[in-house]
A and B are shown apart, each in its own frame.
Chain A
Amino acid sequence: MKSLTDQQFVRYSRQVMMERWGEAGQLSLADAKVVIIGCGGLGNTVASLLAGAGVGHITLMDDDNVELSNLPRQLAFDMGDIANAKVLALANRLREQNEDIAVTPLLQRFEYGCASQCLSGATLVLDCSDNFATRYAINHACLDLMLPLLSASVIGWHGQMLLVINDGEHNSHGCYQCLFNHTDDRALNCNTAGVSGAAVAIVASYQANEAIRFMLGQKSTLSSSLMLIDTISLDNKKLKRTSDPKCAVCANKGKH
């Protein structure tokens, strides 16, 4: 039976001592494989928190290079990383951060066609991407491959987050496309509307916390709801999700 080494026990002691975590939970994290799609603001912080927590296998996907305007919120990068591939720079930081874990960088944009290979064996997929085309492709792929998807987004001072379990039993709450099936290029993104680095860190921290709780086997109310995060009023809302009976992606899959 597996157990933590003495050094691991010390390293992770403050989380292992927590209720509903324990050594068994830590070993679950060590066995888990997460795929983080997008290595921008959300991906930076989420990856760092999961690496720190001891998630054993982290795959990173992104095809962008680091730019100067990224540095206020993409905290794993510095001036020396400018023009380098984000996914490689972030992978290096994570390896420095925690030598216990395996990090696999994939220097490519996520597309539906690569899903079966890129997402293979994932315990959880984290959508940290920055455009709707990618978000739709991730949602579709996770549904087809029956992989749980934790999707977060942020703009300005606001964020959104949802968990789509994709196990057939929870599908009555719908998928990402059930929520937003009319989005187009006019929808807000960080390049056009701006974004607060602190707000990004808040949303990313929620996302990492939910990811860890999911991998520890804890239930999440986000599997049936969408969380609206407002860092101005500090009033977060959870809205109940329902499936679109004619959703082009999920209508014929699982229970409705």
Chain B
Amino acid sequence: MQASQKVVTINDQEQVVIEPGVSSLAELVSKFTLDNNVAVAIDSKIIPHRLWGSTLLFGDEQLTIFGAIAGG
């Protein structure tokens, strides 16, 4: 990884390289999973699905991607 590259960390493990200020949350999630049944938090704050397209990533964010579960 080059020094100028920015990464986000997903679920405390996987690191993904992004273009700072250009990559949106929607783009990144679509690369990570095709599952629509997920929610995402940036730095422990959940971002409503409708706002993913307008939420830009700048690097160093900690993402939590998790699936909705219905079991009871």
Q: Does any Cβ of A come within 8 Å of B71's Cβ?
A: yes
Chain B residues 54-72 with CB under 8 Å of chain A are 64, 66-72
Q: Which residues of B contact A20 (CB under 8 A)?
A: none
* B37–A180 touching, CB < 8 Å: yes
Interface size class of A (residues with CB under 8 A): 35 or more
Query: CB-defined interface of A178-189 with B at 8 Å, one 1/0 digit per residue?
Result: 111111101111
A238 within 8 A of B: yes
User: Are the C-beta atoms of A181 and B49 separated by less than 8 Å?
Assistant: yes
Contacts of A41 in B (CB 8 A): 71-72
Interface membership of A1, Cβ < 8 A: no
Across the interface, do A129 and B44 meet the contact criterion of CB distance under 8 Å? no
**Cβ A187 vs Cβ B50 within 8 A:** no
B26 at interface, CB cutoff 8 A: no
Interface centre among A154, A238, A239 (most CB of B within 10 A): A239
Instruction: Given the known inter-chain contacts A181-B49, A187-B37, please indicate yes or no for A240 contacting B71, CB distance below 8 A.
Output: no
Stretch in contact with the other chain, from A4-12, A24-32, A116-124, A130-138? A130-138
Taking beta carbons and an 8 Å cutoff, which residues of A are in contact with B? 38, 40-43, 127-132, 135, 152-155, 158-160, 174, 178-184, 186-190, 193, 195, 226, 228, 237-247
